[in-house]
Amino acid sequence: MPPKTAIQPTRDQDFPEWYQQVVRAADLAENSETRGCMVIKPWGYGIWELIQQQLDRRFKETGHQNAYFPLLIPLSFLEKEAEHAEGFATECAVVTHHRLEALQDEESGKTRMIPTGELAEPYVIRPTSETIIGSAFSRWVQSYRDLPLLINQWANVMRWEMRPRLFLRTAEFLWQEGHTAHETAEEAVDETRMIHGLYEDFLRDHLAIPVIPGEKTENERFPGAAMTLTVEAMVQDKKAIQAGTSHYLAQNFSKAQDISFTGREGTVEHAHTTSWGVSTRLIGTLIMAHSDDDGLVCPPRVATQQVVIIPITPKEDSREAVLDACEALAATLRQQSFHGDPLRVLVDARDVPGKKWEWVKKGAPIRIEIGPRDLESRKVCLQRRDQPSNEKSFVDKEDFLRDATDILQEIHDTLLVRAKDFRDANIAECGDIDDFHQHWEQDNPGWLLTPWAGSNEQEDELSKRHKITIRCLPNGNQEGDEAPCVLTGTPTRRRALWGRSY
- Boundary of a domain, candidates 407, 441, 464: 407
Residues 225 and 364 in one domain: no
Strand-strand pairing, 345-347 and 307-311: parallel
pLDDT-flagged residues of the chain (< 70): 1-3, 84
Give the pTM.
Answer: 0.96
Specify whether 137 is located in the same domain as 283.
yes
State the Cα–Cα distance between residues 361 and 416, nearest whole angstrom.
20
Assess whether the previous peptide bond of 164 is cis (omega < 30° from 0): no
Instruction: Give how far Cα 240 sits from Cα of 19, 237, 284, 380, Å.
Output: 15, 9, 12, 40
The domain that contains 484 carries what CATH number? 3.30.110.30
Q: Do residues 207 and 279 share a domain?
A: yes
Give the Cα separation of 365 and 307 in Å (integer).
6
Name the residue range of residue 324's domain.
305-407
Look at residue 105 and tell me if it is in a domain. Answer: no
**pLDDT score for 2:** 60
Q: One-letter amino acid identity for 247?
A: H
In a shared domain, residues 465 and 381? no
In a shared domain, residues 280 and 332? no
Check which CATH number belongs to the domain holding 170 and give it.
3.30.930.10
Residues 241-259 as b or e (16 or more Cβ within 10 Å = b): bbbbbbbbbbbbbbebbeb
- 361 and 264 share a domain? no
Type of residue numbered 102: A
Q: Is the same domain home to 324 and 278?
A: no
Q: Give the DSSP letter of residue 89.
A: G
Q: What angle do CA 112, 117, 123 make, to 5 degrees?
A: 105
Q: How many domains does the chain have?
A: 3
Beta bridge pairs of residue 393: 382
- Clarify whether residues 216 and 274 are in a common domain: yes
Residue 4 belongs to some domain of the structure? no
Judge whether 281 lies within some domain.
yes
Residue ending a domain, among 290, 319, 351, is 290
Q: What is the largest distance, in Å, between two alpha-carbon atoms of the chain?
A: 84
Note whether 347 and 432 are same-domain residues.
no
pLDDT score at 131: 92
**Residue 213, CA distances (Å) to 227, 329, 436 in order:** 14, 42, 22
pLDDT at 441: 96
Does residue 106 form part of some domain? Answer: no
Q: Are residues 214 and 322 in the same domain?
A: no
CATH number at 386 reads: 3.40.50.800
The verdict on 148 and 245 lying in the same domain is yes
Q: Is residue 388 part of a domain?
A: yes
Whether residue 9 is contained in a domain is answered as no
Same domain, 43 and 174: yes
